[in-house]
């Protein structure tokens, strides 16, 4: 690795750290990498940030240590070691916070549902409701839901229909791993409503949950959108959660939700939910 090859990532890292490299402490590294984890960065991205900084600091130690010590009286010692950031760099760091309970998820979706009637723009408000409910009930990653297209919705597959996740996350270097996921918990009612009444409010394109230009929502946009909606909801910071936490909540509730009764098919805003999810 060379400094030149990673200059863009290095500049972002140093800006986030906010202090000269020779003044940094292990706590500074923990703070920045922890912020990346809470912001939804993948483990590989967080690892890349740390490794880029460590490479730069090694460059300072080998090439510039004498100049730095003569100028500021400090000999550079790298603050990133094998201990101080390990809990943030691992895959499971966002899982340190518990996922929302079914009751908390129900409150949030009730807020989104009520907001549809009062929002300045009906389309984005209704899309948000359908998108985040789909993310929760199907357990998708933000990037996976952003890449769903209308032809990926198959109402005739299985008892409730299925979504074809063509760009599912695969193992490292293995490429996308497609999979089919069932439309549980009234999604087979919600998505027809979305396609019939909401999707036409956006420009025509294959994208299922489109932005206002008809394109795919970036996973960072989905994360920021969720954060914005929870700020509007006005709940304490301890009650807020990330898209990844919604995915984990789906896994927690799956066993309780698979036996939902399908006796009737009212519109999705009136659909009787399973008792575990109440949404």
State both tokens at 14.
């140093």
**43-59 and 26-38 are packed helices; what angle lies between their axes, rounded to 10 degrees?**
150
Q: How many degrees, rounded to 5, is the angle at CA 91 between CA 60 and CA 34?
A: 55
Separation CA 150–CA 147 (nearest Å): 10
Q: How many degrees, rounded to 5, is the angle at CA 250 between CA 249 and CA 253?
A: 85
- DSSP state for residue 153 in the 8-state scheme: E
Separation CA 257–CA 186 (nearest Å): 10
pLDDT given for residue 81 in this prediction: 61
State both tokens at 16.
């986030």
Separation CA 124–CA 107 (nearest Å): 19
- Cα four-point dihedral sign 244, 108, 128, 234: negative
183 neighbors 140 (Cβ within 8 angstroms): no
One digit per residue, pLDDT tens: the chain, 279 residues?
444 556 777 788 888 888 888 788 777 787 887 788 777 777 777 777 887 878 787 778 778 888 888 888 877 777 776 554 444 444 434 445 678 899 999 999 999 999 999 999 999 999 999 999 999 998 888 889 999 999 999 999 989 999 999 988 765 555 678 899 999 888 999 999 999 999 999 999 999 999 999 999 988 889 889 999 999 999 888 888 888 888 888 766 554 444 444 444 444 443 333 333 333
Q: List strands edge to edge, sheet with 179-182.
A: 153-154, 162-165, 179-182
Separation CA 267–CA 272 (nearest Å): 10
Q: Who contacts 156 (Cβ-Cβ below 8 Å, separation ≥6)?
A: none
Beta-bridged to residue 181, according to DSSP, are 163
State both tokens at 189.
């009612």
32 neighbors 16 (Cβ within 8 angstroms): yes
Separation CA 89–CA 260 (nearest Å): 38
């Amino acid at each position: 690795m060379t400094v030149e090859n990673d200059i863009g990532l290095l500049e972002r890292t140093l800006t986030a750290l906010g202090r000269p490299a020779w003044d940094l402490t292990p706590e500074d590294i923990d703070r920045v990498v922890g912020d990346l984890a809470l912001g939804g960065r993948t483990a590989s991205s967080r690892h890349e940030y740390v490794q880029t900084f460590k490479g730069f600091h090694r460059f300072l130690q080998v090439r510039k240590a004498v100049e730095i010590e003569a100028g500021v009286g400090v000999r550079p010692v790298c603050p990133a070691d094998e201990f101080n950031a390990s809990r943030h760099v691992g895959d499971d760091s966002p899982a340190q916070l518990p996922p929302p309970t079914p009751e908390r998820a129900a409150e949030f979706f009730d807020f989104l549902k009520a907001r549809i009637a009062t929002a300045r723009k009906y389309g984005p408000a209704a899309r948000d409701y359908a998108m985040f409910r789909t993310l929760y009930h199907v357990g998708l990653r933000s990037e996976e839901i952003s890449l769903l297209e209308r032809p990926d919705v198959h109402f005739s597959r299985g008892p409730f229909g299925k979504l074809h996740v063509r760009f599912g996350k695969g193992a490292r270097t293995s490429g996308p791993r497609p999979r089919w996921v069932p439309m549980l918990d009234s999604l087979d009612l919600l998505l027809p409503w979305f396609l019939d009444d909401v999707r036409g409010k956006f420009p025509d394109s294959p994208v299922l949950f489109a932005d206002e230009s008809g394109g795919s929502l970036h996973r960072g946009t989905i994360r920021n959108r969720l954060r914005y909606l929870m700020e509007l909801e006005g709940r304490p910071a301890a009650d807020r959660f990330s898209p990844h936490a919604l995915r984990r909540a789906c896994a927690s509730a799956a066993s309780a939700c698979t036996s939902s009764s399908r006796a009737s098919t009212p519109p999705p805003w009136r659909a009787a939910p399973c008792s575990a999810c109440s949404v």
